[in-house]
Amino acid sequence: MGSATTICSDKTGTLTTGKMTVVKVWSGGDSRPDIPGTLSSLAPELQKLLAEAMVVNTSFKSDVEWDQATAQVVKYAGNDTECAMLLLANRLLLSQGSLDKDPYRAIRAQFPLEDPERVNISFSSDRKRMSTLVRKPDG
């Protein structure tokens, strides 16, 4: 490098490892750096609904695989933010007793992209969010 006027660094690991992780969760007016503590304060049904919402609102192009024994990510493809959400959803679903290796995949199968009742509302800078509407099996 000949010269530099600005050097940007990233403490989240995104630049060094190419992987983003969720490090803080805000839910129900409670925000702590202890993600398991914050999430465990929610009712189990709400934890499951939160995990389902994270999975349904990610692109099917984003995909993660991880080794449960070592808790290490094996494959990380697609949008970094979405992959971090999928990993958090997996953690939530596994803590709920899911027997699937990658429980988020079961949710994706339950709410397929081809479902004619599925509605996607693209991200809008005015709304500052994107949305996906799906019909839950129980109504």
Choice among 10, 63, 80, 102 that is catalytic: 10
Strand partners, 72: 67
Burial 14-49 (b: 16+ CB within 10 A, else e): eeeeeebeeeebeeeeeeeeebeebbeebeeeebbe
Angle, CA 63 vertex, CA 32 and CA 73 arms, to 5°: 65
d(CA 13, CA 96): 28
Is residue 10 annotated as a catalytic residue, yes or no? yes
Pairing verdict, β 25-27 and 30-32: antiparallel
Which positions are annotated as active-site residues? 10
